[in-house]
């Protein structure tokens, strides 16, 4: 690799040709403040925080986009540079809704942190501010333009990572705002509710729709039987909200925390994930044997489902008709569990803790009521749960280890790996292989579908039948796979698509890391590793071995794809427009 | 219009097109022919005279001559009057110019530089 | 057979079209048909003659008579008198045109005497909608020359040697730019013409496109040959419908004539040109924003490097020059770099077209050799300031430029002198201000424009110019504070250093240059709450001077709010509560009895 040597603050730094000055400084442990910079996603030199002096250049240069050149001399903290950054930051603050203590991002705000680091003591240039303007019509995401600093990290994420692109700058000058076209609401446009924009936002301009009040109310209602399910990915991320390292496993703290919040029963979505494998695995076999529509595409990820409905409606028949584990859990809770416990299902209030903002939308889909009741009453994100725990004074790290309740708290490692990209595929293969062959699978770890590679492909030999599978996460990767399917270029039998990069561990409802933290570490990879560690620690690692699932079939559903299964555990999809119909 | 396929064709079109704008360029270096077009001139047939001059110029593809009109200069009995003004030469005024005379003025004076003394305005 | 003895040229540029030249042209054609002259008099539409304020303008050849403000009802007279009887219609003739003996040649009148029309060589001479007329005046000769007699490098060297610098703003050497693009590696390259002229009051590029579209096409082809491109894009404002139409006609005619397309003139050179219409964002004149807009994205600048010469349109090496720059190219090729370099000054070669407006008599378009002084442009060509008012300043360079005071009137116009004076060449807007213009108000005007037109991408421009504007607003409202000038200066300095693109980096210039030359006006506003020019409404009120008032009550009649009262033949009074400071009474009073205090 061709190397370039430059001088930064008098220090010689050697970096590969094509690196930016910011990267070179990073390598030399020289910190240059950034705000709009999001490694690999948003490198546009917009916010002007990372300006540096370059010998020979007339104006200050944005280091995040400035390529290094041989012999370049850079100064990162001259008086001119510091003053310029301060003025720019003061200007940003002068048009920022400074309600920090009541902001959802208080103490986790890059703007706040930068103000502290740059020693901003006053705003020399006050003036007109954008008044608070909420877009809270979406069931998942709330935008507030008065906090937006127009860094465009959300815009780039939506366009580049997710290939959705429903938000962009509107208007000009001081009136510029980030919004869907024509200032429409996110609820009106083809937003998939994935919440990746929230993870990208350095401030509190984007947040999830807060549903904690509904849960507090239900918990306080003595007539309600309030039960909770926690998604696979929560147990490897919630710890971060309580000061644990990224990827810390808190599986056994979860039941303890949730019980202390007052939930009547603490169950596990992993149980429903096992159930999903039973249905979806059999659905796949049925389609494979009886010439059904292939490739079969997984349907666990509600952001992906809405994406498919908007952008690839011609592939809706390829989607598995299985509800997602969240919804299967709700449907089972309000029928089988209600019956078994002798509780009036109308009194059962199902809360789910999800790494996901799209789950809020999914829970509200009108068709998700085949039991006669809405399957799930409230879907909370990891972040909302953390806020509830903090409000209740529950410190996760100080809790004892506890277990999930029976019967809907019993799960296998196959259910656990739903939380990482490739996990649903791997869990399905473990079951499908054994159902088809009747033999025990020797090596249950399908490592070829694991990991953070955007698109993974494998061919699995199941007793002489070669099954081509593909795994994609992040919707721009999904697009590539789907386009190949549509063009006939690829011949897959089974595809797993997860809306968010990394799968659910990288979900839009998960704890938010700063751009700086994200630069040095792939948090999704770390959480993913933890997911597989959870799997390895389980005694049972195949869904069809889950005893509670077996009992459920024996006592209630009959067998996979039975009529009752179809009624309760399967769903249908609707073509949605790309643009609002006028 | 067919496509121009070579430099030569382009030059040919340029030559043909020169007429289109010739009248608007470098007029100070051209010979000026001025035809008296007062009521008296017109009555005496100045329009025919002028058209004859134009026709003769066109036939010979002369592009360094401009033809303009002027009003009555008080010598009505000599109409149609025609002035020929060559660059850097004194004005020559012809009297009672009919179509035939006009054509000869073009040939003899304008092209061959021979002033036709007999038709020049007498000293009065 | 048609033997045309006279041509009636009617200006069909935007200015004259707006004042009704379409109807004038129709009237000429009708009258000429009616009088049986259609085979000897030709009516031709043409491009801008420069004196837009006097439009509709009509030029009759071979005499070269220049008629101004021609109305359709004047046409029968012109035909009868001029075209039939040979008598000039004096009342409509341009005022300086007539001397005692005969018509003065156009080139001798003051407005044109000091001009040198290279860029505008065909404007007002040819019919822009007839490719033959362009060809007749040596059109496409330069293209033929480069394709057959020059290597691409020779073309670039010639342009370099000519010293031509970009006419769109920054003044970067054109030949050097071409060299970068020629040297850049890439199988596909593009030639782009920036016709997104956006400075308030500037219309040079529009006039070239309207009056001589083929010169731009020819130059782009030459550029394409020089850098190895086979496609060009013209990014032109949709608000220039006439220019767009003429370009479309020109492109189609060039294609039909084989002067665009495959195997041009049988040389094997392929080049085609496409139009892209801009929707009016000022920032799209910035090259990277322009490229983004062509690509179908929001028109926003991006940081450079990479420069378009290396990564331009769709990531391919691209040269972007503006209309005026291109319009110089064919002449440089035909007459040679030495000829071009002999015009102008050492560091600024050739001519520059300016759109002169504001408080000046000859509002319009002028093309002058570089090095001409501001005084020559304003007083000799422009005819000075109307109504005997005093010159105060001239603003050049549009919203990115600055205001130049009277003390610098003898400064030669060059790229570098203008920058030293705190302004810039810009694209060629020149707005003249007189004693009635308040310089704080002028700064506010330009900043309002840049703030409106900021793309919103970087905080210094998006918020910084807003804050500067707010400070200017409070100063002009009489709410200025001690320290506001320093606040403006600090903010301006920071914005200049840190904004992302040229628009932001130059946005503070109008403020800085007015502070530099007219600081006393700022101070009068802030400290004395007084607007010396009497322009800032909040700082003035109107009073009747009792001594001068004759009680004629004309002011009472024009006052829209009934604020003036008084007995006839007695001094009147103005009710300050009701007065909205519309200035009507001031304008109307025949005795100068109304004053602004």
Q: Is residue C336 part of a domain?
A: yes
Residues C443, C419 share a domain = no
Tokens 């000829």 found at: C339
Separation between Cα atoms, residue C574 and residue C593, nearest integer Å: 12
Per-residue model confidence (pLDDT) at position C99: 61
Question: What is the distance between the terminal CA atoms of chain A, rounded to a whole angstrom?
Answer: 55
Q: What is the pLDDT of residues A91-138, one digit of tens each?
A: 999 999 999 999 999 999 999 999 999 999 999 999 999 999 899 999
Residues C366, C482 share a domain = no
Strands A378-381 and A296-297: unpaired
Q: Is residue B13 part of a domain?
A: no
Please count the CA atoms within 13 angstroms of the CA of A402 that sit on its side-chain side.
21
Contact C62 B51 (CB under 8 A): no
Per-residue model confidence (pLDDT) at position C101: 53
Closest CA to A140 of A500, A572, A421: A500
Phi, psi values for residue B4, rounded to 5°: -85, 120
Residues A295, A150 share a domain = no
Per-residue model confidence (pLDDT) at position C287: 95
User: Are the C-beta atoms of A250 and A396 separated by less than 8 Å?
Assistant: yes
Separation between Cα atoms, residue A494 and residue A489, nearest integer Å: 15
Select from C434, C458, C476 the last residue of a domain.
C434
Catalytic residue list contains A359: yes
Residues A226, A246 share a domain = yes
Residues C393, C523 share a domain = no
Q: Is residue A576 part of a domain?
A: no
| Sequential DSSP letters for C277-331 | EE-S-GGGGSHHHHHHHHTTS------SSSPTTTS-GGGS-EEEEEHHHHHHHHH
Q: Is residue C535 part of a domain?
A: no
Residues C181, C269 share a domain = yes
3-state DSSP call for residue A186? coil
Q: Is residue B10 part of a domain?
A: no
A151: burial class by Cβ within 10 Å (0-12, 13-18, 19+)?
A: buried
Q: Is residue B39 part of a domain?
A: yes
Q: Is residue C576 part of a domain?
A: yes
Contact A84 C455 (CB under 8 A): no
Residues of C in contact with A63 (CB under 8 A): none
Contact B55 C3 (CB under 8 A): yes
Select from A208, A228, A254 the last residue of a domain.
A208
Nearest to C85 among B22, B30, B69 (CB): B69
Distance from CA of A251 to the nearest CA of C (A): 44
Residues A308, A180 share a domain = no
Contact B23 C257 (CB under 8 A): no
Q: Containing domain of residue C554, as a range? A: 541-596
Q: For B56, which residue in chain C has the nearest alpha carbon?
A: C3
Distance from CA of B42 to the nearest CA of C (A): 9
Q: Containing domain of residue B57, as a range? A: 25-119
Q: What is the pLDDT of residues A10-51, one digit of tens each?
A: 999 999 999 999 999 999 999 999 999 999 999 999 999 999
Supply the CATH number for residue C395's domain. Answer: 3.10.20.600
Residues of C in contact with A22 (CB under 8 A): none
Residues A300, A256 share a domain = yes
User: Are the C-beta atoms of C127 and C302 separated by less than 8 Å?
Assistant: no
Catalytic residue list contains A300: yes
Residues A529, A467 share a domain = yes
Q: Is residue C98 part of a domain?
A: yes
Supply the CATH number for residue A179's domain. Answer: 3.30.70.20
Chains C and B touch (3+ CB pairs under 8 A): yes
Residues C378, C472 share a domain = no
Q: Is residue C114 part of a domain?
A: no
Q: Does C133 touch chain B (CB under 8 A)?
A: yes
Supply the CATH number for residue A68's domain. Answer: 3.10.20.740
Position A65 pLDDT exceeds 90: yes
Residue A239: partners with Cβ closer than 8 Å, 6 or more residues away: A245, A248, A249, A250, A253, A396, A397
Q: What is the pLDDT of residues A363-414, one digit of tens each?
A: 999 999 999 999 999 999 999 999 999 999 999 999 999 999 999 999 999 9
Residues of A in contact with C506 (CB under 8 A): none
User: Are the C-beta atoms of C4 and C32 separated by less than 8 Å?
Assistant: no
Mean pLDDT of chain A: 96
Tokens 């990372």 found at: A50
Per-residue model confidence (pLDDT) at position A347: 97
Residues A258, A177 share a domain = no
Percentage of residues in chain A with pLDDT exceeding 90? 97
Q: Is residue A83 part of a domain?
A: no
Residues C165, C274 share a domain = yes
Residues A53, A39 share a domain = yes
Nearest to C140 among B10, B54, B55 (CB): B10
Cα Rg of chain B (Å, integer): 17
Q: Is residue A508 part of a domain?
A: yes
Count of domains observed in chain A: 3
Select from C380, C400, C434 the last residue of a domain.
C434
Position A487 pLDDT exceeds 90: yes
Separation between Cα atoms, residue A337 and residue A318, nearest integer Å: 31
Q: Is residue C299 part of a domain?
A: yes
Q: What is the pLDDT of residues A227-259, one digit of tens each?
A: 999 999 999 999 999 999 999 999 999 999 999
Residues A370, A341 share a domain = yes
Catalytic residue list contains A504: yes
Q: What is the pLDDT of residues B50-98, one digit of tens each?
A: 999 999 988 888 888 989 888 777 777 888 999 999 988 888 999 999 9
Residues C587, C495 share a domain = no
Supply the CATH number for residue C488's domain. Answer: 1.20.1440.230
The arithmetic mean of pLDDT across residues A59-69, rounded, is 96
Supply the CATH number for residue A359's domain. Answer: 3.40.50.1780
Structure tokens at C68: 């101004």
Select from A77, A105, A134 the last residue of a domain.
A77
Residue A343: partners with Cβ closer than 8 Å, 6 or more residues away: A225, A337
Tokens 């920058």 found at: C419
Supply the CATH number for residue B69's domain. Answer: 3.40.30.10
Residues of C in contact with A149 (CB under 8 A): 459
Q: What is the pLDDT of residues B5-38, one digit of tens each?
A: 899 999 999 988 888 888 888 888 899 999 988 8
Q: Does C1 touch chain B (CB under 8 A)?
A: yes
Position A90 pLDDT exceeds 70: yes
Q: Is residue A471 part of a domain?
A: yes
Select from C407, C434, C461 the last residue of a domain.
C434
To the nearest 10°, the Cα dihedral for C531, C535, C537, C543?
80
Q: Containing domain of residue A510, as a range? A: 213-569
Q: Which helix (H) or strand (E) holds B54?
A: helix B46-59
Catalytic residue list contains A50: no
User: Are the C-beta atoms of A473 and A500 separated by less than 8 Å?
Assistant: yes
Distance from CA of B56 to the nearest CA of C (A): 10
Per-residue model confidence (pLDDT) at position A541: 97
Q: Is residue A223 part of a domain?
A: yes
Q: Is residue B67 part of a domain?
A: yes
The CA-based angle A287-A292-A298, given to 5 degrees, is 60
Per-residue model confidence (pLDDT) at position C100: 56
Supply the CATH number for residue C219's domain. Answer: 3.40.50.11540
Contact C258 B3 (CB under 8 A): yes
Per-residue model confidence (pLDDT) at position C596: 87
Residues C238, C91 share a domain = no
Residues A124, A167 share a domain = yes
Residues of B in contact with C6 (CB under 8 A): 23, 68
Count of domains observed in chain B: 1
A421: burial class by Cβ within 10 Å (0-12, 13-18, 19+)?
A: buried
Nearest to C463 among A84, A168, A174 (CB): A174
Closest CA to A327 of A286, A358, A285: A358
Residues C77, C160 share a domain = no
Residues C337, C230 share a domain = yes
Nearest to B37 among C85, C140, C257 (CB): C85
Q: Is residue B1 part of a domain?
A: no
Q: Is residue C272 part of a domain?
A: yes
Residues of chain C with pLDDT under 70: 1-2, 97-105
Separation between Cα atoms, residue C559 and residue C576, nearest integer Å: 12
Per-residue model confidence (pLDDT) at position C102: 56
Per-residue model confidence (pLDDT) at position C88: 84
Residues C224, C368 share a domain = no
Q: Is residue A432 part of a domain?
A: yes
Count of domains observed in chain C: 5
Residues in chain C: 597
Residues A453, A437 share a domain = yes
Percentage of residues in chain A with pLDDT exceeding 70? 100
Q: Is residue C172 part of a domain?
A: yes
Please count the CA atoms within 13 angstroms of the CA of A552 that sit on its side-chain side.
35
Distances (CA, A) of B56 to B113, C28, C38, C255: 16, 27, 19, 37
């Amino acid at each position: 690799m061709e190397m370039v040597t430059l001088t930064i603050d008098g220090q010689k730094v050697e970096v590969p040709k094509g690196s930016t000055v910011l990267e070179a400084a990073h390598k030399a442990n020289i910190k240059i403040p950034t705000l709009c910079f999001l490694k690999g996603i948003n490198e546009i030199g917009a916010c002007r925080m990372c300006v540096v002096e370059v010998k020979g250049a007339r104006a200050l240069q944005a280091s995040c986009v400035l390529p290094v050149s041989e012999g370049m001399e850079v100064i990162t903290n001259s008086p001119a540079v510091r003053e310029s950054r301060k003025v720019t930051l003061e200007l940003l603050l002068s048009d920022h809704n400074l309600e920090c203590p009541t902001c959802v991002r208080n103490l986790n705000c890059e703007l706040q942190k930068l103000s502290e680091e740059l020693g901003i003591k006053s705003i020399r240039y006050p003036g007109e501010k954008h008044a608070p303007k909420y877009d809270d019509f979406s069931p998942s995401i709330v935008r507030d333009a008065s906090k937006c600093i127009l860094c465009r990290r959300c815009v780039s994420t939506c366009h580049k990572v997710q290939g959705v692109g429903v938000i962009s700058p509107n208007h000009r000058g001081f009136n510029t705002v980030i919004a869907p076209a024509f200032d429409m609401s996110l609820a009106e446009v083809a937003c998939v509710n994935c919440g990746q924009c929230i993870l990208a936002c350095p401030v509190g301009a984007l947040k999830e729709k807060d549903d904690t009040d509904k849960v507090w109310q239900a918990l306080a209602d003595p007539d309600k039987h309030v039960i909770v399910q926690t998604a696979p990915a929560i147990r490897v991320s919630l710890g971060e909200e309580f000061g644990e390292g990224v990827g810390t496993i808190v599986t056994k703290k979860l039941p303890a925390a949730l019980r202390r919040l007052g939930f009547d029963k603490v169950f596990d979505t992993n149980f429903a994930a096992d159930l999903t494998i039973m249905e979806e695995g059999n659905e796949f076999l049925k389609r494979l044997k009886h010439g059904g529509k292939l490739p079969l595409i997984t349907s666990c990820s509600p952001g992906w489902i809405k994406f498919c409905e908007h952008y690839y409606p011609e592939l809706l028949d390829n989607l598995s008709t299985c509800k997602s584990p969240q919804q299967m859990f709700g449907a089972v809770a309000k029928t089988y569990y209600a019956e078994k416990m002798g509780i009036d299902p109308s009194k059962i209030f199902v809360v789910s803790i999800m790494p996901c903002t799209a789950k809020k939308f999914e829970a509200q889909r009108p068709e998700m009521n085949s039991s006669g009741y809405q399957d799930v009453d409230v879907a909370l994100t990891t972040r909302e749960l953390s806020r509830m725990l903090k409000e209740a004074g529950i410190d996760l790290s100080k809790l004892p280890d506890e277990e999930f309740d029976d019967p809907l708290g019993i799960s296998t490692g196959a259910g656990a790996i739903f939380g990482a990209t490739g996990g649903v595929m791997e869990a399905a293969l473990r079951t499908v292989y054994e159902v088809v062959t009747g033999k025990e699978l020797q090596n249950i770890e399908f490592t070829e579908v694991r990991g953070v590679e955007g698109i993974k492909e494998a061919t699995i030999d199941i007793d002489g039948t070669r099954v081509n599978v593909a795994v994609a996460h992040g919707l721009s990767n999904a697009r590539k796979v789907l386009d190949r399917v549509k063009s006939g270029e690829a011949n897959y039998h089974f595809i797993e698509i997860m809306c968010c990069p990394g799968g659910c561990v990288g979900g839009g409802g998960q704890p938010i890391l700063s751009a700086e933290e994200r630069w040095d570490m792939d948090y999704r990879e770390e959480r993913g590793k933890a997911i597989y560690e959870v799997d390895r620690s389980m005694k049972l690692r195949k869904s069809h071995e889950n005893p509670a699932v077996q009992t459920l079939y024996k006592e209630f559903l009959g067998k996979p794809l039975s009529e009752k299964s179809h009624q309760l555990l399967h769903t249908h999809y609707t073509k949605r427009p790309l643009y609002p119909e006028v | 219009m067919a496509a121009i396929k070579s430099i030569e064709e382009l030059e040919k079109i340029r030559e043909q097109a020169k007429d289109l704008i010739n009248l608007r360029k470098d007029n100070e270096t051209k010979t000026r022919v001025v035809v008296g077009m007062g009521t008296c001139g017109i009555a005496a047939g100045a329009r025919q005279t002028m058209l004859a001059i134009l026709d003769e110029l066109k036939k010979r593809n002369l592009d360094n001559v401009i033809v303009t009109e002027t009003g009555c200069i008080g010598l009505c009995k000599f109409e149609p009057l025609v002035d020929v003004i060559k660059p850097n030469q004194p004005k020559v005024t012809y009297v009672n110019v009919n179509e035939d005379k006009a054509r000869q003025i073009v040939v003899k004076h304008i092209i061959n530089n021979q002033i036709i003394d007999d038709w020049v305005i007498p000293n009065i | 057979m048609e033997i045309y003895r006279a041509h009636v040229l009617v200006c069909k540029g935007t200015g004259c079209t707006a004042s009704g030249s379409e109807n004038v042209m129709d009237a000429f054609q009708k009258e000429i048909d009616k009088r049986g002259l259609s085979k000897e008099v030709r009516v031709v539409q043409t491009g801008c003659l420069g004196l837009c304020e006097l439009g509709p303008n009509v030029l009759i050849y071979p005499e070269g008579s220049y008629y101004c403000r021609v109305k359709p009802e004047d046409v029968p007279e012109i035909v009868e008198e001029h075209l039939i009887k040979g008598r000039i219609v004096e009342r409509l003739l341009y005022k300086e045109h007539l001397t005692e003996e005969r018509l003065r040649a156009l080139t001798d009148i003051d407005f044109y005497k000091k001009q040198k029309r290279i860029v505008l060589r065909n404007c007002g001479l040819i019919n822009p909608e007839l490719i033959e007329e362009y060809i007749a005046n040596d059109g496409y000769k330069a293209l033929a020359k480069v394709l057959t007699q020059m290597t691409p490098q020779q073309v670039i060297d010639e342009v370099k040697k000519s010293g031509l610098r970009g006419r769109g703003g920054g003044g970067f050497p054109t030949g050097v730019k071409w060299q970068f693009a020629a040297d850049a590696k890439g199988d596909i390259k593009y030639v782009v013409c920036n016709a997104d002229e956006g400075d308030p009051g500037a219309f040079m590029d529009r006039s070239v496109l309207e009056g001589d579209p083929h010169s731009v096409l020819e130059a782009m082809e030459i550029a394409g040959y020089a850098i190895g491109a086979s496609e060009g894009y013209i990014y032109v404002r949709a608000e220039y419908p006439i220019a767009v139409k003429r370009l479309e006609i020109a492109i189609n005619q060039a294609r039909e004539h084989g002067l665009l397309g495959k195997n041009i003139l049988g040389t094997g050179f392929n080049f085609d040109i496409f139009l892209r219409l801009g929707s009016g964002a000022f920032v799209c004149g910035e090259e990277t924003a322009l490229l983004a807009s062509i690509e179908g994205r929001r028109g926003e600048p991006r940081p450079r490097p990479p420069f378009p010469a290396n990564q331009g349109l769709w990531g391919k090496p691209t040269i972007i020059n503006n209309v005026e720059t291109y319009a110089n190219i064919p002449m440089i090729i035909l007459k040679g770099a030495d000829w071009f370099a002999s015009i102008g000054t050492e560091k600024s070669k050739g001519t520059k077209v300016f759109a002169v407006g504001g408080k000046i008599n000859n509002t319009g378009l002028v093309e002058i050799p570089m090095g001409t002084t501001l005084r020559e442009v304003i007083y000799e060509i422009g005819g000075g300031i109307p109504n005997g008012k005093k010159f105060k300043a001239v603003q050049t360079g549009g919203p990115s430029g600055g205001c130049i005071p009277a003390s610098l009137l003898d400064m030669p116009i060059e790229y570098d002198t203008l920058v030293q004076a705190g302004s810039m060449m810009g694209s060629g807007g020149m707005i003249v201000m007189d004693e009635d213009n308040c310089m704080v108000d002028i700064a506010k005007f330009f900043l309002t424009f840049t703030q409106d037109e900021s793309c919103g991408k970087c905080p210094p421009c998006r918020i910084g110019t807003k804050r500067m504007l707010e400070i200017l607003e409070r100063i002009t409202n009489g709410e200025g504070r001690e320290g506001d000038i320093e606040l403006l200066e600090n903010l301006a300095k920071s914005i200049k250093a840190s904004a992302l693109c040229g628009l932001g980096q130059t946005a503070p210039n109008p403020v800085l240059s007015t502070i530099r030359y007219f600081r006393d006006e700022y101070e009068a506003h802030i400290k004395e709450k007084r607007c010396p020019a009497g322009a800032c409404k909040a700082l003035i009120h109107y009073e009747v001077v009792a001594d001068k008032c004759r009680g004629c009550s004309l002011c009472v009649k024009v006052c829209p709010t009934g604020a003036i009262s008084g007995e006839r033949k007695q001094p009147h009074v103005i009710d300050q509560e009701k007065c909205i400071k519309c200035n009507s009474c001031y304008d109307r009073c025949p005795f100068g009895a109304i004053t602004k205090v």
